[in-house]
DNA sequence: CTCAAAAAAGAACGATCGTGCTATTTTGCA
DNA sequence: TGCAAAATAGCACGATCGTTCTTTTTTGAG
C-alpha cells in the first residue's frame, strides 16, 4: 500500500473515533490534523474538501461495521446461529472500546437526516443494507423453521433494530448497565433463542 | 405575560423547529435572530450565552412533549387505554408537521451523550422521566391484568422505546412509509392490544 | 402626554474554520 | 547517489460565530 493510502487510513481511523464522540458534522480539519500529527493543509490535501472527508469517514465506519460484525456472523451456519451471531455482535460492539462515543453511523443518521447530499445518500444506502442483511438472516431462520410459525419477518427486523437503538440510547445517555442484557433478552423473546442471563433480569 | 416572555417564547418555538432540522448544537444566534425578526444582540440579550439558549431549547422541547403526548394520554383511564394512548401519541407525533426534522430530543441524545454539562444533564433527566412514565403506565396495565401474565415490565419499556426510535429512524432517514404501522404492530405484539391496520403488513 | 425603564439595534472584537497558494521536505526509482 | 515526483508544511485569506459595548427605539405606568 502506498504511503498516501497508509496515511489516509490512519487519518480515517482516528477520524472515526473522533466522530463517535463529537459527531461527523463537527469534525474539524485542524483538530484532526493535530491528532494525526499532520498540518492542516497536509491533511486537507488527502480529501480536497471537508465534505469529502466526512464522506470518507462514513464509508470507513461502514467498512468497520462489516469487518467487526457482519463478516464474523457469516462464519456461523445459515439460520438462527448466524442471526444470533449478527445481533449479538451488533449489540456487543456498542460496549467495545473501539467506539468510545457510541456508533457514529447511528449518530450521523440523526445529524444528516435533513441535509440532502452525498453524505446522507451514503448513510441511507448503508442503513438500508444493514436492515436488509438483518431481514435476510431473519428470513433464512424463518425458512429453516427456527422462528415461531407465522412470524412477521419485516416487523421482527424493525423491532430488532429498535432493540439496538434502545441499547445504544440507554448505554450512552442513561448509563444503564443492564442495556446489553435487555437487548439480548428482547432478542430471545422475539426470536425464541435461548436467552443469555435469562432469569437474572432485575428491576 | 410580559413582552420579554412573549418574545422569548416565540424565539424558542422557532428554535425548537430549527433544532429538529439541524440539531441543537448547530443552532446559531444569527440565523435564529433572522428567523425571529430580531437582531443578533437583541436575541442574545434574552439568554446571555449560547449554552443557556440551547438549554432553554431543550426545556421547551421537553415541555412541548408533555403537552402534546403525556397530558392527552392521562385523560384516558388508567391501564391499557392510557398506555396505548401514550404510545400512539408518541409515535404519531413523529409524523406531525410540528417537528419537520424529527424529534430534537432524540437527536440531542446523540449530539450530547459525550459532552458533559448542563445540557446533557437536562437531557438525561428528561429521558429518564420519559422512560419512567412509560414504565409506570406499563406497570399499571400489568397490575390491571391487561398484559400477558409474567410480562417483564422493564424489558417491555425498553422494547417499546426501541420501537419509537426505530420508527423515527425509518421515517426520517429511510423514508419508510410503513414505519408508523410497524411501530403500532410491534406494540400490539408486545402488549396484546388490538393492532390497527393488522393484516395489511406488506413486505 | 412624560419620561424612566425595558427592549432591541448597531457596530466591532477576537477566535475559529475551510480553503487556496507557495515553499519545503520526503519518497522511491534510475 | 541524484532527482523528479509525491507528500507535507507554512502562511494567509475571507467568512462565520459568540460575545461585548454603546446607542436607539419602544414600552407602559403616573
Q: A109-139: per-residue pLDDT in tens?
A: 999 999 999 999 999 999 999 999 999 999 9
Give the C-alpha separation, A148 to B157, whole Å.
23
Does residue A24 fall inside a structural domain?
no
Mean pLDDT value across chain A: 93
- Does residue A37 register a pLDDT over 80? yes
- Does residue B195 register a pLDDT over 80? no
Whether nucleic acid strand C comes within 7 Å of the CB of B38, the answer is: yes
Q: Could you tell me the distance in Å between the CA of residue A31 and the C1' of nucleotide C24?
A: 23
Percent of chain A scored above 90 by pLDDT?
89
The C-alpha of B154 sits at a distance from chain A's nearest C-alpha, in angstroms, of 7
The C-alpha of A129 sits at a distance from chain B's nearest C-alpha, in angstroms, of 11
Percent of chain B scored above 70 by pLDDT?
94
Q: Of A132, A192, A110, A122, which is closest to residue B21 (Cα–Cα)?
A: A110
**Which cell numbers in the block locate residue B73?**
394520554
Does residue A38 fall inside a structural domain?
no
Percent of chain A scored above 70 by pLDDT?
94
* Interface contact B177, partner A, CB < 8 A: no
Q: Of B109, B112, B113, which is closest to residue B164 (Cα–Cα)?
A: B109
So what's the pLDDT on residue A200?
Answer: 38
What dihedral do alpha carbons A155, B84, A127, A79 form, nearest 10°?
A: -30
- How many residues are present in chain A? 203
Q: Of B107, B163, B141, which is closest to residue A107 (Cα–Cα)?
A: B107
Write out the DSSP string of B49-116. SHHHHHHHHHHHHHHHHIIIIIHHHTTSPTTHHHHHHHHHHHHHGGGSTT-TT--HHHHHHHHHTT--
For range B2-28, the mean pLDDT = 94
Q: Of B7, B10, B37, B35, which is closest to residue B21 (Cα–Cα)?
A: B35
**For chain B, what is the total number of helices (H) and then of strands (E)?**
10, 0
B39: region left, alpha or beta (phi > 0 left; psi from -120 to 50 alpha): beta
For range B124-135, the mean pLDDT = 98
Mean pLDDT value across chain B: 93
Does residue A108 fall inside a structural domain?
yes
- The residue of chain B nearest to residue A119, with distances taken between CA atoms, is B173
So what's the pLDDT on residue B97?
Answer: 87
For range B37-45, the mean pLDDT = 97
Cβ contacts (< 8 Å) between B202 and chain A: which residues? 154
CATH value at residue A139: 1.10.357.10
pLDDT interval class at B200 (50, 70, 90): very low
For range A30-40, the mean pLDDT = 97
For range A11-19, the mean pLDDT = 97
pLDDT interval class at B149 (50, 70, 90): confident
pLDDT interval class at A1 (50, 70, 90): low
Give every CB contact of residue A46 below 8 A, 6+ residues apart in sequence: A4, A7, A8, A11, A53
- Does residue A152 register a pLDDT over 90? yes
Q: Could you tell me the distance in Å between the CA of residue A43 and the C1' of nucleotide D8?
A: 8
Q: Contact at 8 Å (CB) between A159 and B181?
A: no
Please say whether the dihedral angle defined by the alpha carbons of residues B131, B135, B138 and B140, taken in this order, is positive or negative: negative
Closest by Cβ to A166, choosing from B100, B165, B173: B165
Please say whether the dihedral angle defined by the alpha carbons of residues B187, B191, B193 and B195, taken in this order, is positive or negative: positive
Which three-class secondary structure state does DSSP give residue B173?
coil
- Does residue B194 register a pLDDT over 60? no
**Nearest CA to the C1' of D9 belongs to which residue?**
A39
pLDDT interval class at B4 (50, 70, 90): confident
Does residue A37 fall inside a structural domain?
no
**Which cell numbers in the block locate residue B158?**
425498553
Whether nucleic acid strand C comes within 7 Å of the CB of A59, the answer is: no
Does residue B179 fall inside a structural domain?
yes
Question: Can you tell me which residue has the cell 444569527?
Answer: B30
Whether nucleic acid strand D comes within 7 Å of the CB of B37, the answer is: no
pLDDT interval class at B8 (50, 70, 90): very high
Whether nucleic acid strand D comes within 7 Å of the CB of A45, the answer is: yes
Give the C-alpha separation, A46 to A52, whole Å.
9
Does residue B201 fall inside a structural domain?
no
**Nearest CA to the C1' of D6 belongs to which residue?**
A4
* Interface contact A127, partner B, CB < 8 A: yes
Domain of B153, in residue numbers: 54-191
What dihedral do alpha carbons B76, B78, B83, B86 form, nearest 10°?
A: 40
Residue pLDDT, tens place only, B81-115: 999 999 999 999 999 988 999 999 999 999 999 99
CB contact under 8 A, B158 and A164: no
> Which nucleotide has the least CA–C1' distance to B6?
C7
CB contact under 8 A, A113 and B172: yes
Alpha helix locations (H) across A47-192?
50-65, 71-73, 80-93, 104-112, 118-143, 153-172, 179-191
Buried-state track A74-110, b at ≥16 Cβ within 10 A, e below 16: eebeebbbbbbbbbbbbbebbeeeebebbbbbbbbbb
Does residue A198 fall inside a structural domain?
no
Nucleotides of D under 7 A from a protein CB: 6-12, 16-22, 27-28
Q: Contact at 8 Å (CB) between B65 and B127?
A: no
So what's the pLDDT on residue B192?
Answer: 84
Task: Look at chain A and report how many structural domains it folds into.
Answer: 1
CB contact under 8 A, A174 and B22: no
Does residue A72 fall inside a structural domain?
yes
Amino acid at each position: 500500500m502506498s504511503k498516501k493510502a497508509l496515511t489516509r487510513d490512519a487519518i480515517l481511523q482516528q477520524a472515526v473515533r473522533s466522530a463517535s464522540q463529537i459527531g461527523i458534522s463537527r469534525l474539524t480539519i485542524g483538530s484532526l490534523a493535530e491528532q494525526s500529527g499532520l498540518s492542516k493543509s497536509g491533511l486537507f490535501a488527502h480529501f480536497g474538501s471537508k465534505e469529502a472527508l466526512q464522506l470518507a469517514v462514513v464509508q470507513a465506519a461502514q467498512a468497520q461495521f462489516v469487518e467487526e460484525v457482519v463478516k464474523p456472523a457469516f462464519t456461523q451456519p445459515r439460520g438462527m446461529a448466524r442471526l444470533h451471531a449478527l445481533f449479538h455482535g451488533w449489540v456487543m460492539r456498542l460496549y467495545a472500546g473501539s467506539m468510545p462515543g457510541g456508533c457514529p453511523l447511528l449518530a450521523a443518521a440523526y445529524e444528516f437526516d435533513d441535509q440532502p447530499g452525498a453524505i446522507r445518500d451514503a448513510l441511507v444506502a448503508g442503513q438500508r443494507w444493514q436492515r436488509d442483511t438483518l431481514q435476510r438472516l431473519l428470513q433464512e431462520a424463518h425458512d429453516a423453521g427456527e422462528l415461531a410459525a407465522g412470524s412477521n419477518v419485516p416487523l421482527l427486523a424493525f423491532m430488532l433494530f429498535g432493540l439496538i437503538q434502545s441499547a445504544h440510547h440507554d448505554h450512552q445517555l442513561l448509563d444503564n448497565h443492564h442495556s446489553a442484557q435487555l437487548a439480548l433478552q428482547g432478542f430471545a423473546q422475539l426470536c425464541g433463542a435461548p436467552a443469555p442471563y435469562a432469569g437474572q433480569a432485575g428491576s
